[in-house]
Amino acid sequence: MAQDYYSTLGIPKTASAEEIKRAYRKLAHQYHPDKGEKGDAEKFKEVSEAYQVLSDPSKRSQYDQFGSAYNGARGQGGGPQGFSGFDFSQSMGGFEDAFDIFSDIFGGGAQSRSSRRERGVDLEMELYLSFEEAVFGVEREIQIEKKDTCLKCQGSGAEPGTKISTCPKCHGAGQIRTSRRTIFGQMSQVSTCDVCEGSGKTAETPCSECAGSGTKRRLKKLQIKIPAGVEDGQRIRVSGEGEVGYRGSAAGDLYIRLHVKSHKFFKREGEHIYSEIPISFYQAALGTKVMTETVDGEVELKIPGGTQSGKVFRLKDRGAAILNGSGRGDHFVTVRVVTPTKLNKKEKDYFKKMAEDKGEAVDIDDSLWAKFTG
Ligand SMILES: [Zn+2]
Ligand SMILES: [Zn+2]
């Protein structure tokens, strides 16, 4: 589960910047992994993540708005512009409710992520949606083959019934600090423990199913909810549905790149949908009611007399759902007036008569016309 950053730091939501800093310093000092067995690498990580978000006013306000779903601290380098505020994510490696694993949308462009060695690998897949599915949202069952938690040892890496002990090399911290003397003085470096791969624990008898890794490759079905209003090329992050990490450490994320198929009649820009409708010369002149296709089905469109070709009519709220917002965009219909191409004798006489009444010259010799166009 995602942590509550305020309770992680033990401060109220109204805490000032100074209070946040003070709480962080105290806890960071308390849990620092350098303290060996007295430290707590996991707690230290949580505290640091909480501080990273709450100490940044823009990240903090996004977090306040979107609650524990906020994942900004993990998508490092993206900053607020990479984060569009769409994040339902709550499970980080939990598999309890696939409907709730939802996540955020990136307009595209890879996020540079901090690649900690113990964290599971991120996965990426492509998903094709129809025009309507993108407009209204859809639930899809997908299948991914990935490293998942080993069912025999539940990810611990130890044969069931055997002991798991604290890693002898890092004493449970998961990290090793190495120091060496240089001409500039003492230099130290922190790296992931190579014995326990950062888990802080070692199995005395490795699990026979997964050889101690705690992971097992298998096919997993996921129910994915694509929110209404997504667009072609966008990426969705399903938090915690990448590959699981070594011995039950945090899973990576699953990224789903969306491809929206184009529509026969409709075009889309953001939340608005555009189409054209042909009407006859007579309908344009006299006015009419036509049925025009929208994503909601046919809708009546009133066209007043004297409508010119190219005139745009707006059908309010017939567009796509607004992603991250409420309501829908509009559907814009452009009228194309179709000039009659084949007139019979009677129609020609009518038109000539009308033109003569207006004093307009129209009497074109058909054979002459054929020369021009032919
Ligand atoms: Zn196992
Ligand atoms: Zn270790």
User: Residue 216 C-alpha to ligand 1 middle, in angstroms?
Assistant: 7
Check residue 182 and give its pLDDT.
78
- Please write the tens of the pLDDT for every residue from 152-166: 999 888 999 998 889
DSSP state of 206: B
Longest dimension (CA), the chain: 105
User: Residue 149 C-alpha to ligand 1 middle, in angstroms?
Assistant: 8
Check residue 160 and give its pLDDT.
93
CA dist 111 and 109 (Å) reads 6
Tell me the sheet residues that pair with 221. Answer: 143
Q: Which ligand number lies closest to the CA of residue 246?
A: 1
User: Residue 93 C-alpha to ligand 1 middle, in angstroms?
Assistant: 16
The rounded percent of the chain whose pLDDT value lies above 90 is 42
- Please write the tens of the pLDDT for every residue from 345-374: 898 888 888 888 998 887 665 655 555 554
User: Residue 43 C-alpha to ligand 2 middle, in angstroms?
Assistant: 16
Q: Which ligand number lies closest to the CA of residue 170?
A: 2
User: Residue 157 C-alpha to ligand 1 middle, in angstroms?
Assistant: 5
Closest CA to 150 of 197, 220, 202, 212: 212
Cα torsion angle, 318, 319, 320, 321, sign: negative
**Domain layout of the chain by residue ranges:** 1-70, 85-163+204-262, 267-341
Q: Which two tokens stand for residue 111?
A: 């996020």
Residue 191 near residue 174 (C-beta atoms within 8 A)? no
- Please write the tens of the pLDDT for every residue from 109-150: 333 333 334 688 999 999 999 999 999 999 999 999 999 999
User: Residue 192 C-alpha to ligand 2 middle, in angstroms?
Assistant: 8
Residue 256 near residue 223 (C-beta atoms within 8 A)? no
Check residue 112 and give its pLDDT.
31
User: Residue 338 C-alpha to ligand 2 middle, in angstroms?
Assistant: 77
Q: Which ligand number lies closest to the CA of residue 174?
A: 2
User: Residue 116 C-alpha to ligand 1 middle, in angstroms?
Assistant: 22
- CATH, range 267-341: 2.60.260.20
How is 80-115 classified by DSSP, letter by letter? HHH--S------SS--S-GGG----EE-SSPPP---
Which superfamily, per CATH, for 85-163+204-262? Urease metallochaperone UreE, N-terminal domain (2.60.260.20)
User: Residue 211 C-alpha to ligand 1 middle, in angstroms?
Assistant: 7
Phi, psi of 134 (to 5 degrees): -70, -35
User: Residue 171 C-alpha to ligand 2 middle, in angstroms?
Assistant: 6
The answer to whether domain 85-163+204-262 and domain 267-341 are alike in fold is yes
Check residue 97 and give its pLDDT.
31
Angle formed by the axes of helices 41-54 and 17-31, to 10°? 170
Give the mean pLDDT of 204-217.
91
Q: Which two tokens stand for residue 182?
A: 């240089």
User: Residue 121 C-alpha to ligand 1 middle, in angstroms?
Assistant: 18
User: Residue 146 C-alpha to ligand 2 middle, in angstroms?
Assistant: 25
For residue 159, count other CB atoms closer than 10 A to its CB: 19
Check residue 81 and give its pLDDT.
33
- Please write the tens of the pLDDT for every residue from 226-245: 999 999 999 999 999 999 98
Check residue 270 and give its pLDDT.
93
At the second CATH level, the architecture of 1-70 is Orthogonal Bundle (1.10)
Its pTM stands at: 0.57
User: Residue 179 C-alpha to ligand 2 middle, in angstroms?
Assistant: 17
User: Residue 211 C-alpha to ligand 2 middle, in angstroms?
Assistant: 17
Q: Is the pLDDT higher at 168 or at 113? A: 168
Q: Which residues of 39-77 are buried (b: 16+ CB within 10 A; e: fewer)?
A: bbbbbbbbbbbbbbbbebeebbebbeebebbbbbbbbee
Torsion on CA atoms 242, 248, 250, 251, rounded to nearest 10: 0
Coil/strand/helix, residue 203: strand
